[in-house]
């Protein structure tokens, strides 16, 4: 694989980052994951706008303009012959001797790599996924896409040890979102998902899917729901750049609906993919 590190495209084994990089030492950085279909980035303008917002919230300098970043992403896709998969992009505050406050005169680091992945045809999309609940132990600014990801690492590991696919996070008796995706339930043909706030990541796929849902006449209600409501829902699903829409067929040992992907989840996946292509 060819990767990108601070101005250079090079084989992954030759890529180097300082051990003093603040991403490495403090998780002082932000990231984006964009999907690629038929060699083209999906909804990337929205991802770059969110990147800009994450950088602003952390008073971090942008490593390059949106147009420059897009050009680097496209070149990386071409160099790797990536048809379907993901581009991971990370910006950190740069490398400086360890000291908590912001360093002076340091350039931000920009790193990117691609991951080939089957996004259109996946067993999880066909069969649906099973999730467990875990406490949402994350910090108070989940709207910033920081690289500080220990809570989701532990949540996914807990799911994997329970032989399930993922975890939904619960705070104050309400579901916030999935470990790396937004969470939805469907009840009486209404799509219910938590409203945007600092408690969840403002998903790019969420935004696209909700507007497509409204376009086809489905009712969307942005409000929090309880774990019990989720288990009693007619359907459930998740969205993210790496999954698009995955139906959820089991929540904390309870089958959802008929225990197979529901019609609204399947339809939303279809219409999302259709407009993404
Ligand atoms: N995760 N919520 C969280 C906590 C996320 O980490 C993500 C994305 C989402 C969905 O956002 P989007 O639709 O913009 O991908 C929601 C990425 C895919 C990841 O960490 O790999």
Please, which pLDDT band fits residue 267 given cuts at 50, 70 and 90?
very high
Model confidence at 139, in pLDDT bands (50, 70, 90)? very high
Residue 258 and residue 195 in one domain: yes
Query: What pLDDT, on a 0 to 100 scale, did the predictor assign at position 150?
Result: 98
Neighbours of 259 (CB within 10 A): 11
Rounded to the nearest angstrom, the distance between the alpha carbon of 245 and the centre of ligand 1 is 12
Q: Are residues 162 and 54 in the same domain?
A: no
Please choose from 30, 32, 33, 155 the residue to mutate so as to test ligand 1's pocket, defined by most ligand atoms within 8 A of CB: 33
Listed residues 92, 116, 140: the one ending a domain: 116
Residue 136 and residue 100 share a domain: no
Output the domain CATH number for residue 29.
3.30.470.10
Are 234 and 214 within one domain? Answer: yes
CATH number of domain containing 201: 3.20.10.10
Give the pLDDT band (50/70/90) at residue 266. Answer: very high
Ligand 1 atom with the shortest distance to the CA of 47 = 14
Å from CA of 144 to ligand 1 middle: 11
What domain count does the chain have? 2
Range of the domain at 257: 123-276
Pair (106, 140) in one structural domain: no
What is the sign, positive or negative, of the torsion defined by CA atoms of 37, 266, 205, 32?
negative
Q: 45-74, pLDDT tens digit by residue?
A: 999 999 999 999 999 999 999 999 999 999
> Do 65 and 140 fall within a single domain?
no
* Boundary of a domain, candidates 94, 116, 138: 116
What is the CA(249)–ligand 1 centre distance, in A? 20
User: Could you tell me if 156 and 88 lie in one domain?
Assistant: no
33: CA distance to ligand 1 center in Å? 7
For every residue of 177-217, DSSP letters joined together read: EETTBEEEEEETTEEEEPPPSTTS---HHHHHHHHHHHHTT
User: Taking Cα atoms as reference points, which of 155, 19, 176, 29 lies closest to residue 88?
Assistant: 29
Same domain, 22 and 94: yes
Residues 12 and 132 in one domain: no
Same domain, 251 and 152: yes
**Per-residue pLDDT tens over the stretch 163-213:** 999 999 999 999 999 999 999 999 999 999 999 999 999 999 999 999 999
Q: What is the largest CA-CA distance in the chain?
A: 59
* Per-residue pLDDT tens over the stretch 141-176: 999 999 999 999 999 999 999 999 999 999 999 999
* Site residues for ligand 1, CB cut-off 6 Å: 33, 177, 180-182, 201, 203-206, 239-242
| CA 64-65-68 angle, 5° bins | 80
Catalytic center residues: 145
pTM: 0.97
Q: pLDDT-based confidence at 134, cuts 50/70/90?
A: very high
The residue whose C-alpha atom lies closest to atom 16 belonging to ligand 1 is 181
Give the end of a domain, one of 116, 132, 157: 116
Looking at the structure, tell me whether residues 147 and 39 fall in a common domain. no
């Amino acid at each position: 694989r060819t990767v990108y590190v601070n101005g250079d495209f090079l084989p992954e084994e030759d890529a180097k980052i300082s051990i003093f990089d603040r991403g490495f030492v403090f998780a002082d950085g932000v990231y984006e994951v964009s999907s690629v279909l038929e060699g083209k980035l999906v909804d990337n303008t929205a991802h770059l706008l969110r990147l800009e917002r994450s950088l602003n919230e952390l008073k971090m300098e942008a490593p390059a303009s949106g147009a420059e970043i897009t050009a680097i992403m496209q070149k990386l896709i071409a160099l790797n012959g990536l048809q379907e998969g993901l581009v991971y992009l990370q910006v950190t505050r740069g490398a400086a001797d360890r000291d908590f406050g912001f360093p002076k005169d340091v350039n931000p680091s920009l790193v990117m790599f691609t991951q080939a992945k089957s996004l259109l045809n996946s067993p999880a999309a066909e069969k649906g996924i099973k999730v467990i609940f875990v406490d949402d132990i994350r910090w108070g600014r989940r709207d910033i896409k920081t690289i500080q990801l220990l809570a989701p690492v532990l949540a996914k590991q807990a799911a994997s040890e329970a032989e399930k696919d993922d975890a939904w996070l619960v705070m104050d008796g309400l579901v916030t979102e999935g470990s790396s995706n937004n969470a939805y339930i469907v009840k009486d043909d209404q799509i219910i998902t938590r409203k945007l706030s600092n408690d969840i990541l403002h998903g790019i796929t969420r935004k696209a899917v909700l507007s497509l849902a409204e376009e086809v006449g489905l009712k969307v209600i942005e409000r929090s729901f309880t774990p019990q409501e989720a288990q009693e829902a007619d359907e459930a699903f998740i969205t993210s750049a790496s999954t698009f829409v995955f139906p959820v067929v089991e929540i904390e040992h309870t089958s959802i609906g008929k225990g197979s992907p529901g019609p609204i989840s399947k339809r939303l996946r279809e219409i999302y993919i259709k407009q993404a292509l």
